[in-house]
């Protein structure tokens, strides 16, 4: 039994082409690397066939929108894309598009790693001023985990509250979970996708095996269908006329297989291809070999962690790039590339000069690990604190407001 | 290419275990035999593992319901079952159950072969006085055929009109097509079924190959989900409490794989297993080697054929068990077992004595082929005439009445 599981795993990896000796593993279900500096994202760009989000395109984004890119965009946490230029073209020409992102709810409270794409998406929505659609894949979690339908739905709803706490505008944002939203226009797009991808292709994209349940093979179309505006007639108007409104999907790079498939099938469905902008992963406290994982609470900062818990976790667990002794640190300096506190500051600290000063001082050994941790603690407490405060005001009624079938504050 | 298609086909047949030398092929997608007497249904009972509908169970049915079995039940056109006794138990105990049947619409007007299960179902509903649910699998047709979604939906709707013409009672019957009904309670059951059947099992039940589109593997759960009462909260009340109301499915034997799968998974979903009652196929005019097929119009009597067309078709095409010359026929007699006119009379002529008289006379050569055809023409014209007359009164508004999401005239 164990052997067959291992064989299956190895085969799956071979199918995905995701792991060879010393290679990183990045699939929608697993992300690991052996390197303390984390995933080699440049290699991933080549492997996945997406494009680097380079300085030119970020400069063009800033020119067209009149907004300075936030840290996670200008510092490469959002590092790759597919057809982001096409979305910038539409912004320039005043043509409509929308944002689509999502989450598979598998834990009660969200951690900071979950929230990164949402923090970015919120900012992007303000800059672009377009509708945002957020999918909660409770059906996926039910299929993949040992979980009841009602528990998957409940978890999706609880997660919605955390997501709403990032600060989204209900008049411009539609949140849904698959189990409760499933409806004819959505299903029609799912079936259309089902028709043009065969089991062989699904296997080569996702690595499914014949031992996987039927639902796993059926599910990718459910994550792909919201890429088509006609899945949401209450937002984009009557069916059949609106599949020329494309979407931009901000997401972590591990979700790419779904949308690679979706981009392949879009022309056959006479629909616009979705554009994508990909984030790296917020590293686990223990180091960049893996991302934060809710099933191992000590790897994460949760949205409901108190200021004190945040302080304790970072002090206790955040992997340090500093030296073993004070003398050694003063002499040799620290290594920012593997230091998790520094990585958090890269994600969240807006002040470029201050960040550079921290980097230089830490590298020289002038700044100590404890001091660097204190700076990260302050920044993370600030980010989480604002959201946690907002979270207190989010009730079931707030969720109902976001999930209600209704037009958004845009006309099509 | 052609070779791989052939190889695939052979493999599929092997997987289904459906065809060896001289064996009949019966799958949801194809029904053929080499024998002029038609499919060997006794062999099929053994192969599929269902049970013969014997005289004892029919006698019990008549005793419990107080109704004499109609020709197609008492003469073995409905010939096999799974757990029909469980439904009779419930009828005896006054416990609730419902009828579920369906159709994949792939032609404009229905032919008599399509209508046989519906004629039977209508009679069964009157006898049992229970809710009836009719599923139109327009999604299946879209996935299997070169067809647009809108055309599949339109065809389903047109077919509904023909089905309604059989004489169903709108206050007790809910008809839906998958593309328009898809909703959370229905989807939830679909996903639950997806979770407990793996790709290997689906392959062995349905013979899907890796070249088949993802939708084919996903679809069986869509045909199975209406077996669970919780797919219809508007009829059976709030979700989660009603999966102990079982259904009885009258259908042609080729649909058995869907429900075999469904019966396997029901206990894991804490739901009642569906019971089934299976019909043989109404033979094509040309002979019992195949069933009526809408794609070959001359094999069928259509609901919109005029009395004259019915007469001409039977006279011209109905395979005769008579001899080549009048003299030979008078001398040797005819063969009722292969005579299609006689087979039609077995399906539709209510008078047992008259049927037996016809059989005896034809076998002796006293009744001529032309005379036998005239009797069949009269009977078929009568059946089709009544439905065709009713069909004229069926409008889009009538269809809306049957498809409306509403409670039926039963309380749960």
Q: What is the 3-state secondary structure (H, E, C) of B328-382?
A: HHHHHCCCCCCCHHHHHHHHHCCCHHHHHHHHHHHHHCCCCHHHHHHHHHHHHHH
Q: Is A218 on the interface with B (CB under 8 A)?
A: yes
Answer whether A50's CB lies under 8 Å from A80's CB.
Answer: yes
Is A266 a residue whose pLDDT tops 90?
Answer: yes
**A183·B183 Cβ contact <8 A:** yes
Q: Is A405 on the interface with B (CB under 8 A)?
A: no
Residues A296-355 have pLDDT tens digits of: 889 999 999 999 999 999 999 999 999 999 999 999 999 999 999 999 999 999 999 999
Answer whether B162's CB lies under 8 Å from B122's CB.
Answer: no
**B188·A179 Cβ contact <8 A:** yes
Question: Chain B residues with CB inside 8 Å of A203's CB?
Answer: 210
Provide the pLDDT for residue B6: 34
Structure token digits, residue B243: 């999966």
Q: Quick one: which of B111, B106, B88, B179 has its CA closest to B144?
A: B106
Whole-prediction pTM value?
A: 0.91
Answer whether A43's CB lies under 8 Å from A318's CB.
Answer: no
**A218·B194 Cβ contact <8 A:** yes
Distance CA B410, CA B412 (A): 7
> Percent of chain A scored above 90 by pLDDT?
75
Across the strands, what pairs with A81?
A: A51, A277
Provide the pLDDT for residue A25: 81
Give strand ranges (E) for B21-60: 25-27, 30-32, 51-52
Question: Chain A residues with CB inside 8 Å of B208's CB?
Answer: 199
**A211·B200 Cβ contact <8 A:** yes
Distance CA B398, CA A339 (A): 71
Distance CA A393, CA A161 (A): 9
Provide the pLDDT for residue B103: 94
Q: Is A197 on the interface with B (CB under 8 A)?
A: yes
Distance CA A218, CA B395 (A): 37
Nearest to A142 among B191, B197, B202 (CB): B191
Question: Chain A residues with CB inside 8 Å of B213's CB?
Answer: 194-199
Structure token digits, residue A166: 């990032």
Provide the pLDDT for residue A401: 98
Question: Chain B residues with CB inside 8 Å of A217's CB?
Answer: 199, 214, 217-218
Number of Cβ within 10 Å of residue A90's Cβ equals 19
Q: Quick one: which of B95, B70, B31 has its CA closest to B250?
A: B70
Q: How confident is the model at residue A239 (pLDDT cuts 50, 70, 90)?
A: low
Question: Chain A residues with CB inside 8 Å of B193's CB?
Answer: 214
Number of Cβ within 10 Å of residue B64's Cβ equals 15
Question: Mutate which of B214, B221, B271 to disrupt the A interface (most A C-beta within 10 Å)?
Answer: B214
Q: What is the CA radius of gyration of chain A?
A: 21
Low-confidence ranges of chain B (pLDDT < 50): 1-21, 240
Measure the CA angle with vertex A224, ends B215 and A43; round to 5°. 115
Residue that has been written with the tokens 């056959």 in this structure: A268
For chain A, what is the mean pLDDT? 90
Distance CA B28, CA B26 (A): 7
Question: Chain A residues with CB inside 8 Å of B211's CB?
Answer: 198-200
Q: Which helix (H) or strand (E) holds A311?
A: helix A307-317
Structure token digits, residue B229: 């009462």
- Give whole-number Cα distances, A362 to A244, A342, A370, in Å: 50, 9, 11
Question: Mutate which of B181, B191, B197 to disrupt the A interface (most A C-beta within 10 Å)?
Answer: B191
The nearest alpha carbon in chain B to A202 belongs to B214
**A199·B213 Cβ contact <8 A:** yes
Question: Chain B residues with CB inside 8 Å of A221's CB?
Answer: 214, 218
Residues A54-79 have pLDDT tens digits of: 999 999 999 999 999 999 999 999 99
Provide the pLDDT for residue B22: 59
What is the distance, to the nearest Å, from the Cα of residue A371 to the centroid of all Cα atoms in its chain?
A: 30
**What SS3 class is residue A195?**
helix
Q: How confident is the model at residue A177 (pLDDT cuts 50, 70, 90)?
A: very high
For chain A, give the longest Cα–Cα distance. 70
Provide the pLDDT for residue A305: 95
Answer whether B102's CB lies under 8 Å from B135's CB.
Answer: yes
Is A88 a residue whose pLDDT tops 60?
Answer: yes
Count of residues making up chain A: 412
Distance CA B149, CA A118 (A): 35
Provide the pLDDT for residue A107: 74
Distance CA A262, CA A244 (A): 15
Residue that has been written with the tokens 């159950």 in this structure: B97
Distance CA A187, CA A168 (A): 27
Answer whether A166's CB lies under 8 Å from A117's CB.
Answer: no
Is A21 a residue whose pLDDT tops 60?
Answer: no
Q: How confident is the model at residue A379 (pLDDT cuts 50, 70, 90)?
A: very high
**A199·B182 Cβ contact <8 A:** no
What is the distance, to the nearest Å, from the Cα of residue A179 to the centroid of all Cα atoms in its chain?
A: 21
Number of Cβ within 10 Å of residue A64's Cβ equals 15
Distance CA A330, CA B205 (A): 70
Q: Where are the alpha helices (DSSP H) in B66-111?
A: 71-74, 84-93
**B211·A200 Cβ contact <8 A:** yes
């Amino acid at each position: 039994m164990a052997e067959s599981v291992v064989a299956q795993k190895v085969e799956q990896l071979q199918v995905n082409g995701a792991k060879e000796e010393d290679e990183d593993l990045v699939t929608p279900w697993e992300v690991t690397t052996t390197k303390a500096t984390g995933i080699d994202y440049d290699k991933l760009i080549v492997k996945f066939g997406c494009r680097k989000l380079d300085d030119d395109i970020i400069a063009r984004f800033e020119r067209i929108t009149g907004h300075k890119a936030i840290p996670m965009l200008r510092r490469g946490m959002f590092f790759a894309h597919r057809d982001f230029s096409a979305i910038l073209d539409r912004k320039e020409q005043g043509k409509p598009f929308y944002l689509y992102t999502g989450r598979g709810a598998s834990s009660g409270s969200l951690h900071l790693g979950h929230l990164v794409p949402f923090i970015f998406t919120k900012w992007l929505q303000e800059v672009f001023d377009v509708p945002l659609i957020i999918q909660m894949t409770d059906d996926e979690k039910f299929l993949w985990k040992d979980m009841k339908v009602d528990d998957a739905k409940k978890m999706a709803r609880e997660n919605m509250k955390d997501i709403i706490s990032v600060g989204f505008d209900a008049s411009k944002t539609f949140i849904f979970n698959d189990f409760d939203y499933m409806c004819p226009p959505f299903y029609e797009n799912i079936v259309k996708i089902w028709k043009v991808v065969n089991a062989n292709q699904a296997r080569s994209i996702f690595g499914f095996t014949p031992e996987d349940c039927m639902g796993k093979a059926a599910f990718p179309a459910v994550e792909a269908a919201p890429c088509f505006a006609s899945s949401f007639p209450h937002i984009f108007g009557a069916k059949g006329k609106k599949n020329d409104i494309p979407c931009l999907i901000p997401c972590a790079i591990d979700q790419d297989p779904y949308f690679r498939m979706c981009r392949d099938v879009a022309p056959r469905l006479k629909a616009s291809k979705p554009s994508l902008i990909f984030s790296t992963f917020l590293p686990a406290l223990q180091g960049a070999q893996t991302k934060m994982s809710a099933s191992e609470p000590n790897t994460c900062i949760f949205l409901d962690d108190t200021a004190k818990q945040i302080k304790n976790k970072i002090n206790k667990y955040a992997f340090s790039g500093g030296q073993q002794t004070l003398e050694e640190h003063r002499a040799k300096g620290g290594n920012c590339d593997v230091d998790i506190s520094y990585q958090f500051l890269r994600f969240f600290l807006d002040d470029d000069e201050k960040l550079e000063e921290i980097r230089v001082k830490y590298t020289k050994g002038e700044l100590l690990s404890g001091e660097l941790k204190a700076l990260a603690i302050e920044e993370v407490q600030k980010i989480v604190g604002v959201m946690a405060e907002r979270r207190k005001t989010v009730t079931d009624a707030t969720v109902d407001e976001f999930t209600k079938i209704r037009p958004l504050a845009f006309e099509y």
